[in-house]
Amino acid sequence: MAKKHEIAKALLKINAVALSLNPPFTWVSGLRSPIYCDNRLLISHPAERNLVVRRFVEEIRSMEQQPDCIAGTATSGIPFAAWVADRMNLPMCYVRAEKKAHGKGKAIEGDIRKGEKILVIEDLISTGKSSVAVVRNLLAAEVKVTGVISIFSYEMKKAESNFKEVNIVPKSLETISSLLELATSQGKLSPEDAEIINDFRNDPPGWYQRNFTPNP
């Protein structure tokens, strides 16, 4: 049975999530952020990894539509999709956001059939752009995508609008607002700093300018 903040505690324990206001982190995109999440660290920690896989399975089994196949997003969603598919005794595939530029030019690896119900597992949702691209590739293969579940979500408004384009409401095992609640209750963050960090999800591009650029 799910316990509040258990995923957040696991991520903080293995340093998969780091918080820093000064200086903030710089993402590959150049975006400045007060939070950095690296769920790939989970693959090296069996206890925390097993917790995440168990929670994925619980979430999937609680869904009205049960999947015929588990899809992992390339590359970070692949190991979790494999573990979940194994526990649920289901087929598994993985999907790229973009087709390969060589070979057969495939976006989907594995056997899938038209009309199948496929559940997508993602490690992290920020803007949702890559996840939505994966969903589009699956829909182009004439399968039904029953949902997208991630380990962690930054809860960005941009992600909400992107997922609306494919008529999906994503789920996440843990979110930035829940993690901030935990960090504040543990005294790792002041309520004021937590509010500044939480503001990031509302307007990521403008967050750094609002909080760290001196007024002229």
How confident is the prediction along the chain (216 residues), in pLDDT tens digits per residue? Answer: 568 899 999 999 999 998 888 889 998 888 899 999 999 999 999 999 999 999 999 999 999 999 999 999 999 999 999 999 999 999 999 999 988 766 667 899 999 999 999 999 999 999 999 999 999 999 999 999 999 999 999 999 899 999 999 999 999 999 999 999 998 998 888 998 898 888 888 888 888 888 876 555
Mean pLDDT of the chain: 92
Looking at residue 196, what is its pLDDT? 86
- pTM of the complete model: 0.93
State the pLDDT at residue 103.
Answer: 67
Domain residue limits, the chain:
6-212
Query: Looking at domain 6-212, which CATH architecture does it have?
Result: 3-Layer(aba) Sandwich (3.40)
The predicted structure's pLDDT at residue 203: 86
- Can you give the pLDDT at residue 84? 98
Residue 29 φ then ψ, to 5°:
-70, -10
